[in-house]
Amino acid sequence: MIDFSFTVLIPLIPIFVFLFVGLVGHKMKPMVSGIIGTLGLATSAILSYFTAYMYFFRVGKVNDVYQSFVGNGPIAKTVNITWLQLTDKLHIDMGVLLDPISVMMLIVITTISLMVHIYSLGYMKGEKGFARFYAFLSLFSFSMLGLVLATNIFQMYIFWELVGVSSFLLIGFYYEKPSAVAASKKAFIVTRFADLGFLIGILILSFNTGTFDFKSLTDIHGTAITSGAGASFLGLSVMTWSLIFVFMGGAGKSAMFPLHIWLPDAMEGPTPVSALIHAATMVVAGVYLVARLFPVYALSAPDGLTVVAYVGSFSSLFAAVIACTQLDIKRVLAYSTMSQIGYMMVGLGVSKYGGEAGLGYMASMFHLFTHAMFKALLFLGAGAIIHAVHSNVMNEMGGLRKYLPITHVTFLIACLTIAGIPFLSAFFSKDEILSAAYHHNRLIFVVQLFVAGLTAFYMFRLYFRVFWNKEPHYHHTPHEAPITMTIPLIFLAIASIFAGYIKFSHFVSSDSIPFESEIEWMNVAIPSIIVGLIGIGVAFVMYKKESNLPDKMASGLKLLYVGAFNKFYFDEIYLFVTKKIIFNYISRPVAWFDRHIVDGFMNAIAAVTNYVSLKIKGFQSGQVQQYAFVFVSGAILLSVVFIYLFSK
């Protein structure tokens, strides 16, 4: 038996760092708290790598099936404590669940988080609140690690909210900037609204199945799956409804349409935060959630998966179109993130349970893994660019390849990767999603293929406009970032190139049984390479040198361009709905009711009490003899009453 109890330290170290740096950080030199944070996370990362090695190569596989370890088992032991005993059977635990996807997520989170910690040592240097920044980063790492290790859906929900809070704190890091404050509030409220759906989903799901534990929920012979889908409501079974509600929570965190509006605004936070939270880790929590419950989705609520697939596909198209028009480089990357998460959702949505048919599931997790690497690289590269030119807007950039050689090369690698150029990591993962879609839903396949082309186009639009094109007048010569920032870039660039060579299907699959996956050159890979190259080619022609072509294009597709440039007016629609409709017709009457009826009742009680006491306070005259008179009169009265009562 292997003792995996130490895995509990992986999330616990960051929370201790958070408490330590948060409480005494302001008394130390800023750099010290940064280094403490980085070292804490490095420890977690080493433990995660060790766990992954032990799990995948030593003990994880029994009879060729990856096991999931919770609590005391015959093979391995992890920490699992009953936290709330609700009834004999229903209880909420706190513990550590080890299975292929949670271990993979450990690697992703600790790696990216460590890179971001190192990078921030350079990027955030000299900022006010440096220690606070590291405290929040540690809090985030703790919550995210807790989320992926959760043994039951309720524990996951708790960490889910913690992740939301730390995201809120980090987006609003520059709390003196009104736009950052507004963005953090927006992110929090939108995701919180989505989490309401998640909570409803959890309650329905656990009511139906009588358990919170992932292990018993996803057990294909367990009651959750075999007991059938329950009564039906509006044409869908209760099980499907609950999973759609759960997906709503996931869609909120993962910025899926129509709950995506917070993600672009979240770019108000410091760039390393965008890389960590809003690109690589937190936003894939929704994907992870669906993957975690995948057997339930696939076997007892396939309609839920269809919803996931279409929402993902539409979001990815929608975001890619918007990304083509944005000028703020971080916003382009934000929409690109949304689009790529759409891919992952598609992967899950078109997948079936078990074996080769579960290709989509594997591909989705694979893409999650590679996306984390190259998207973090893109964001950190964008951070280096912003660091150099002190602006987010593309118009103020150009010709930077001369000034930022390392950033340039790593950024190019990331762009090539995301564009799906062969033999870089995303080529493998994206093509597997595409081939899963090809076999299960042709419509989605075509859409995703088109999105692949758009992706290549907007990424190279960004690349050419920033690194080539016409050089604007810089106030001072842009300079390459310090070594703490370039090391993570180089490391992530290497990861982006080689992450694709991991035989992912040997490790992660929908039924935990390894299988072989092959690239389908004819049907999928070659078309996707062609659209990718077309996208790059168009971007090359339009943006390599300054030309009036983009303006011509924009005026040719005026309606589409203006719509996309304004993000299809979704912010305005939401503002209209909330400010004009909800405020006027719901909030105002409720506020009136609260102020006049509820408060009025309380005020009336207070007023009556006050009035009565004013009237009777004269009794308290200070005249002892008056008191004595009242007392004696009362005594006599009582005596008379008792004599009358008892003398019968």
Partner 1 sequence: MNTGIPLEYFLITATLMFFVGVYGFMTRKNMITILMSVELMLNAVNINFLSFNRYLFPGQLEGHFFALFIIAVAAAEAAVAIAIIINIYRHFQSIDVEKADEMKY
Question: Which residue, 235 or 618, is less far from partner 1 as judged by CB?
Answer: 618
Rg of the chain on CA atoms, in Å: 30
Among 628, 637, 638, 640, binds partner 1 (CB under 8 A): 628
Footprint of partner 1 on residues 171-200 (CB under 8 A)? none
Q: Where are the alpha helices (DSSP H) in 568-617?
A: 570-575, 588-592, 599-616
- Nearest distance, CB of residue 606 and partner 1, angstroms: 19
What is the three-class DSSP state of 502?
coil
- Judged by CB under 8 A, does residue 610 bind partner 1? no
> Would you give the distance in Å from CA 230 to the centre of its chain?
30
Question: Which residue, 616 or 645, is less far from partner 1 as judged by CB?
Answer: 616
- Nearest distance, CB of residue 616 and partner 1, angstroms: 10
Residue 328 DSSP label: B
Candidates 375-383, 465-473, 479-487, 613-621 — which segment interacts with partner 1 by CB under 8 A? Answer: 613-621
Question: Which residue, 559 or 614, is less far from partner 1 as judged by CB?
Answer: 614
Question: Which residue, 617 or 648, is less far from partner 1 as judged by CB?
Answer: 617
- Judged by CB under 8 A, does residue 632 bind partner 1? yes
First vs last C-alpha separation in the chain: 87
- Judged by CB under 8 A, does residue 615 bind partner 1? no
Considering only CA atoms, which of 182, 344, 206, 198 is closest in space to residue 264? Answer: 182
- Judged by CB under 8 A, does residue 625 bind partner 1? yes
What is the three-class DSSP state of 152?
strand
Question: Which residue, 82 or 633, is less far from partner 1 as judged by CB?
Answer: 633
Q: Give the pairing of strands 91-95 and 97-98.
A: unpaired
Considering only CA atoms, which of 276, 283, 320, 313 is closest in space to residue 461? Answer: 320
How many angstroms separate the CA atoms of 609 and 607, rounded? 5
Cis peptide before 295 (omega within 30 of 0): no
- Nearest distance, CB of residue 94 and partner 1, angstroms: 58
- Judged by CB under 8 A, does residue 620 bind partner 1? yes
Among 126, 618, 646, 647, binds partner 1 (CB under 8 A): 618
87: Cβ–Cβ under 8 A, 6 or more apart, which residues?
none
Number of residues that bind partner 1 (CB under 8 A): 11
**Concatenated DSSP letters for 39-100?**
HHHHHHHHHHHHHHHIIIIIISEETTEE--EESB-SSEE--EEEEEE-SSS-EEEEE-EE-H
- Nearest distance, CB of residue 637 and partner 1, angstroms: 14
Q: Is 395 exposed, middle or buried (0-12, 13-18, 19+ CB in 10 A)?
A: exposed
- Judged by CB under 8 A, does residue 629 bind partner 1? yes
Among 63, 87, 477, 623, binds partner 1 (CB under 8 A): 623
Among 27, 475, 615, 617, binds partner 1 (CB under 8 A): 617
Candidates 199-207, 337-345, 474-482, 617-625 — which segment interacts with partner 1 by CB under 8 A? Answer: 617-625
Residues found in the chain: 648
Question: Which residue, 566 or 621, is less far from partner 1 as judged by CB?
Answer: 621
- Judged by CB under 8 A, does residue 621 bind partner 1? yes
- Judged by CB under 8 A, does residue 624 bind partner 1? yes
> For every residue of 215-279, which 3-state class applies, written as one string?
HHHCCCCCHHHHCCCCCEECCEEHHHHHHHHHHHHHHHHCCCCCCCCHHHHHHHCCHHHHHHHHH
Question: Which residue, 126 or 618, is less far from partner 1 as judged by CB?
Answer: 618
Candidates 91-99, 208-216, 241-249, 627-635 — which segment interacts with partner 1 by CB under 8 A? Answer: 627-635
- Judged by CB under 8 A, does residue 643 bind partner 1? no
- Residues at the site binding partner 1, with contacts judged by CB under 8 A: 617-618, 620-625, 628-629, 632
